Structure formats: structure tokens, C-alpha cells
């Protein structure tokens, strides 16, 4: 054994601290020399990596790649960090995660690349096996994770249904009932009690009830008085959160945890059981009801997606299995449950900072209400329930909501996989199997796309001669683009406009001072601490008082 006092010297005769430390561990001089060589090599590699920092704007560390920068970003604001990196790198960069994680990917915010991957080379950029296998337990073969024929068949049926008159009237009717007999009474009570409420939570409850009515034809009642906890809604949320955690866990690890039923995987299994029990019960009941009703009656009475998919048969006369019907419904609920509500939450938060925008929205809504003065006798007490045509005419409101989505898109990042080697229009080389992340949040903050005022909330940028003008889906990608453009886009706009106008016409919404508003890291752009607000009633004209009285009378009965 070597004595603890043994030291190795450098050529100048002095011993280094590392040498002292190693010799105190009892190593032979030759072993110490070898280790010194290794230390020197590591320092060299690290310095090289740091030199890369200057070249690429990001440190790439040995073994762990860019993980340290990512972890630092996670502690602050990840979306802003990605935006900063993309800005410095001209719109696209390669994220090098540690080899043992799933984090290697190309990140882009370049509209030319977006058009390429969402439209021009659509079939070369599917959702892919990695995404599908990660979400399979929750989403099964439903539209979100599906590719090719499985996706195409569902898209076709759903698209026909979304454009049918029956479906449109279901969306209008269900929203009217939810807003007037649930949302407004909840807000009225908060206003009377002068107590702050979490507006994001209230809106999430509204859209969850709404999308369940549309998907299942079943109302879970999350927005009932007292805002009850609904086991199905809770299980759905838990299952979604547990699925997201899989994306941040090395595949082998979450698979092992699933096998041994541990931690996050156990939570996922348990919540999925509730979701499945609920879904299969609704499917069983619906099939029974449909078999008891005659053909025409069925269609006339129901326009929900479950009925449409249950009645559908393919070219060989095969109907959807119960499992696939379950997957269809779960996917639609996921698509519509929180996207419009979080967009509305950010919109109300922005209005607090831009009162002049709120003023212009009110002017527009009031003008539309005044326009119907002439017909008031004819319309009677219905006057302050906004009609479909009136909602359509709210162009400034549409611009204000779109501008909120530009800055706070409900889906902040999205993902595809490359099937065959490919080159992006900006010259980025993509190898088969590469994951591509498109940073929708960052795209809204790129000077190169929106100009110097890209960070300002300015609905006017969407208006031309007072009319709302849309932008290319590859520049404004909040609703995705190409063949996988959001199927619920029109419905979502109607829903958001109807809800926003109904609230703003009656109440001034004030965000509680010093309430922290930051995004949460999730598939959807939630506010991490919700949105605490107080409400004050606006001075109303006679007509609105009549309608409110009627709404209250209806509720009492």
C-alpha cells in the first residue's frame, strides 16, 4: 500500500492540488499520471464545448449535452429560453440531450420549415412511433396519435360531422345553456360576494362540460353550482399529466416502471381505469339507446361525435369497436377540453394590461346590441343572448382573441418525426428518425415574422378596413396547418367569442393585484397559478336587465 504522504511532482517540482488529492487516496504514481491525463482531457473537451457556446449560442457538455441549459431554463421560463435560442440562431437549432434521454431533436420556428413539414412534405412527417407509443395508453388509436389510414378515416368522419347542421346546432345550443344557466350565475355570485375567483378554473370547467356534450352527448356537470369535483374530470386530468411525464422520462425507465406498477405509471393506470369505466359505460348506454330508436329518430335526436362514429361502417360493413369508440371520444375531449379555456384566460389577463382594447371590444359588442333595437319587440326578451350571426360580426373581438393566441398559443410546442432523410428549406439536414419540434410560442415572438412590435398586444394587426384578416397557418400556427389543421377551429372561435362577449358585456374582470401569472410546463399553455380575478358589474341598459331577470327566473325554476 502507498502511504498517504506520497506525492507526485510536476516538472517544476511543485505538486498540484489534484495530485495531492489523488495521492491521499493511495494511488500509484503511474495511476496518478494516467488520471491526470484523463482530467486534462476532460478539461480540454469541456473547453471545446464552451468554445462551441460562442459558435452555437448554447453550451454542449460532455455526456449530458445541452441538458444543464435546459434544466436552468426549466427553473425559469422554458418557452422564453427556447425563443431566445431560436432568435440567436436564425430560427432553427439542434438540441443535443444526453444519449440516455429522448431529448435529441431539431427545434424550429421558421415559417418556411413549417410549411414544408405540415403541408408540402406532410407524409414524410408523421406523428411517429415514439409519440404514439408514449401516448398509447391514454389516447389509443385516436386521431391525435394516429397516422395514415387510421388517422384519415377518423378525420373524414369527424370533418363531415363538424360541418353538419345538426352538429352546429348542438354546439350553439349546448354553449347557450352552459353560459346562461351555469357560467353567468357562478360569476354573478362571485360578483355579489366580492370574492376573488379562479377564472381559469371556471373556464376549464365550462369547456370540459361543453366538449363532453359534443363528444359523448353526456354532461358531466363540472360547472354546476358549488363547482363540484367530478371523478371523471379529475381522472382525465391525472391521466393527461402522467402521460406528459413520460415524455421527460427515458423510455426504458417509464416502461420498467409500468411493468412494476410504480410511481407515475401506477397513477396513470389508476386514473385510466376511471376514464375507461366512464367511457365504456357511456358507449354501452348509447348503443342501447340507438338500438331502441328507429333510424331517422337516431340522427334527428343526436348529433354528438359518439353517435356519428357508432353509426359509421367502413367499405366492408365493419363498425368501430368499443375500444376505438372510446379512443375517439377521449381524443376529442383532450382536443377541446382546455385549449379554448386557457386561451380565454390569457385573453382576459391581456385585457387587464390593455384597457384600450377592452374598450374597443365593448364598443363593438354594444354597437351590435344597439343594432337590434329596431327589432326588440319582435325579439322580446331573447335580446341579450348573442345570436350566431351577431357573434360572427364581432370582428374586433376575433382579432383580439387571435392576437392573444399569437402571444399565448394554447399548444405552445408541437412535434413530428422524420420518415426519410430530408432537408428543410433553411438548409437544416434531417436524418431519418429525427424528432422535429416546432415552437409555436416562439413563432409569435419573432421579429423576423411579426416586426419590431412583435411582443406588443395589438389586435389591429389582424384588421384591414375594420375586417378580420387571417394569416398564413405557417406563420400563425396556433391551430396547426395543412391536412392536420385543427378540426375544432371554427367551433373554438365561436365558443371563445360567445363566452368573452357574454362576460365582458356584463362584467369588468380585474386580475387580483400581485397575482403571479406564468405559464405551466404542460401540453397546453395553462397559467401555473390559475387566474385570480374580481368582478364588478357594468352599468346595464334596461334590455339586459330584463334578460338577466329571465335567466335568473329560469334558474330558479
Residue numbers at the binding site for ligand HEM (CB under 6 A): 143-144, 155, 211, 214, 332, 335-336, 339-340, 343, 405, 410-411, 414, 478-480, 484, 486-488, 491-492
Contact 107, 86 (CB under 8 A): yes
CB proximity list for 540: less than 8 A, separation 6 or greater: 506, 548
Question: Is 65 or 519 the residue whose CB approaches ligand HEM more closely?
Answer: 519
**Cα separation of 210 and 217, whole Å?**
9
Comparing every residue's Cβ against ligand HEM, the nearest one is 488
Question: Is 386 or 493 the residue whose CB approaches ligand HEM more closely?
Answer: 493
**Cα separation of 497 and 459, whole Å?**
14
Beta 435-439 vs 105-108: how paired, if at all?
parallel
Query: Which pairs from 455-459 meet CB under 8 Å and 24+ separation?
Result: 455/407, 457/350, 457/353, 457/354, 457/357, 457/403, 457/404, 457/407, 458/403, 459/357, 459/360, 459/396, 459/399, 459/400, 459/402, 459/403
Q: How far is the CB of 96 from ligand HEM (least distance, A)?
A: 24
Q: What is the distance in angstroms between the CA of the first residue and the CA of the last residue of the chain?
A: 92
Question: Is 147 or 265 the residue whose CB approaches ligand HEM more closely?
Answer: 147
Q: How far is the CB of 124 from ligand HEM (least distance, A)?
A: 16
Instruction: Output the 3-class SS for 407-458.
Output: HCCCCCEEEEECCCCEECCCCCEECCCCEEEEEHHHHCCCHHHHCCCCCCCC
**Cα separation of 414 and 228, whole Å?**
33
Contact 26, 2 (CB under 8 A): yes
| Count of residues in the chain | 557
Q: How far is the CB of 104 from ligand HEM (least distance, A)?
A: 20
- Helix 355-371 crosses helix 339-353 at what angle (to 10 degrees)? 110
Q: How far is the CB of 327 from ligand HEM (least distance, A)?
A: 12
Q: How far is the CB of 182 from ligand HEM (least distance, A)?
A: 18
Question: Is 65 or 488 the residue whose CB approaches ligand HEM more closely?
Answer: 488
CB neighbours (10 Å) of residue 483?
12
Q: How far is the CB of 35 from ligand HEM (least distance, A)?
A: 49
Enter the C-alpha cell of residue 227: 363547482
Q: How far is the CB of 344 from ligand HEM (least distance, A)?
A: 8
Q: How far is the CB of 307 from ligand HEM (least distance, A)?
A: 15
**Cα separation of 91 and 446, whole Å?**
9
Region of 227 (left: φ > 0; alpha: ψ -120 to 50; beta: rest) is: left
Q: How far is the CB of 491 from ligand HEM (least distance, A)?
A: 5
CB proximity list for 557: less than 8 A, separation 6 or greater: none
Contact 490, 375 (CB under 8 A): no
Enter the C-alpha cell of residue 27: 494511488
> In the sheet that 413-417 helps form, which strands lie side by side, from edge to edge?
92-95, 105-108, 435-439, 413-417
Half-sphere exposure of 218 (CA within 13 A, CB side): 18
Question: Is 216 or 396 the residue whose CB approaches ligand HEM more closely?
Answer: 216
CB neighbours (10 Å) of residue 286?
20
Is 454 labelled a binding residue? no
Residue set of the binding site for heme: 486
Residue set of the binding site: 486
Amino acid at each position: 500500500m502507498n502511504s498517504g504522504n506520497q506525492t507526485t511532482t510536476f516538472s517544476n517540482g511543485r505538486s498540484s492540488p489534484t495530485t495531492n488529492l489523488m495521492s491521499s487516496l493511495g494511488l500509484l504514481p503511474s495511476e496518478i499520471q494516467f488520471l491526470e491525463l484523463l482530467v486534462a482531457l476532460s478539461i480540454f473537451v469541456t473547453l471545446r464545448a464552451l468554445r462551441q457556446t460562442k459558435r452555437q449560442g448554447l453550451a454542449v457538455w460532455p455526456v449530458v449535452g445541452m441538458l444543464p441549459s435546459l434544466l436552468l431554463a426549466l427553473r425559469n421560463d422554458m418557452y422564453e429560453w427556447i425563443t431566445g435560442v431560436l432568435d440567436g440562431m436564425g430560427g432553427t437549432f439542434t438540441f443535443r440531450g444526453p444519449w440516455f434521454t429522448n431529448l435529441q431533436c431539431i427545434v424550429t420556428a421558421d415559417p418556411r420549415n413549417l410549411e414544408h413539414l405540415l403541408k408540402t412534405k406532410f407524409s414524410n412527417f408523421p406523428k411517429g412511433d415514439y409519440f404514439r407509443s408514449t401516448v398509447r395508453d391514454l389516447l389509443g388509436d385516436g386521431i391525435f396519435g394516429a397516422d395514415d389510414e387510421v388517422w384519415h378515416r377518423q378525420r373524414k368522419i369527424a370533418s363531415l360531422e363538424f360541418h353538419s347542421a345538426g352538429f352546429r346546432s348542438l354546439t350553439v345550443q349546448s354553449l347557450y345553456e352552459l353560459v346562461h344557466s351555469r357560467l353567468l350565475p357562478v360569476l354573478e355570485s362571485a360578483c355579489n360576494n366580492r370574492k376573488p375567483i379562479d377564472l381559469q378554473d371556471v373556464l376549464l370547467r365550462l369547456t370540459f362540460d361543453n366538449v363532453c356534450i359534443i363528444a359523448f352527448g353526456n354532461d358531466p356537470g363540472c360547472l354546476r353550482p358549488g363547482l363540484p369535483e367530478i371523478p371523471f374530470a379529475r381522472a382525465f386530468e391525472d391521466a393527461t399529466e402522467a402521460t406528459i411525464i413520460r415524455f421527460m422520462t427515458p423510455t426504458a425507465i417509464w416502461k420498467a416502471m409500468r411493468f412494476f406498477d410504480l410511481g407515475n405509471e401506477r397513477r396513470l393506470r389508476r386514473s385510466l381505469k376511471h376514464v375507461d369505466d366512464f367511457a365504456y359505460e357511456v358507449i354501452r348506454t348509447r348503443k342501447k339507446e340507438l338500438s331502441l330508436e328507429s333510424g331517422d329518430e337516431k340522427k334527428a335526436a343526436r348529433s354528438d361525435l359518439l353517435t356519428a362514429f357508432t353509426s359509421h361502417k367502413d367499405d366492408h360493413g365493419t363498425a368501430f369497436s368499443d375500444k376505438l369508440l372510446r379512443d375517439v371520444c377521449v381524443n376529442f375531449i383532450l382536443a377541446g377540453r382546455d385549449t379554448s379555456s386557457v386561451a380565454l384566460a390569457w385573453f382576459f389577463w391581456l385585457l387587464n394590461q390593455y384597457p384600450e382594447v377592452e374598450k374597443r371590444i365593448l364598443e363593438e359588442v354594444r354597437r351590435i346590441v344597439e343594432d337590434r333595437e329596431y327589432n326588440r319587440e319582435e325579439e322580446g326578451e331573447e335580446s341579450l343572448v348573442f345570436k350566431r350571426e351577431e357573434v360572427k360580426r364581432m370582428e374586433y373581438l376575433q382579432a383580439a382573441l387571435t392576437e392573444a393566441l399569437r402571444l399565448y398559443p394554447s399548444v405552445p410546442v408541437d412535434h413530428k418525426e422524420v420518415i426519410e432523410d430530408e432537408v428543410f428549406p433553411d438548409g437544416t439536414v434531417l436524418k431519418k428518425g429525427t424528432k422535429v419540434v416546432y415552437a409555436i410560442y416562439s413563432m409569435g415572438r419573432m421579429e423576423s415574422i411579426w416586426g419590431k412590435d412583435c411582443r406588443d398586444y395589438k389586435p389591429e394587426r389582424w384588421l384591414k378596413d375594420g375586417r378580420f384578416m387571417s394569416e398564413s397557418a405557417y406563420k400563425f400556427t396556433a391551430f396547426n396547418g395543412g391536412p392536420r389543421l385543427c378540426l375544432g377551429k371554427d367551433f373554438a372561435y365561436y365558443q371563445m367569442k360567445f363566452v368573452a362577449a357574454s362576460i365582458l358585456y356584463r362584467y369588468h374582470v380585474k386580475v387580483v393585484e400581485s397575482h403571479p401569472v406564468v405559464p405551466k410546463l404542460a401540453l397546453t399553455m395553462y397559467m401555473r397559478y390559475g387566474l385570480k380575478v374580481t368582478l364588478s358589474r357594468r352599468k346595464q341598459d334596461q334590455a339586459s336587465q330584463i334578460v338577466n331577470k329571465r335567466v335568473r327566473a329560469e334558474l330558479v325554476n
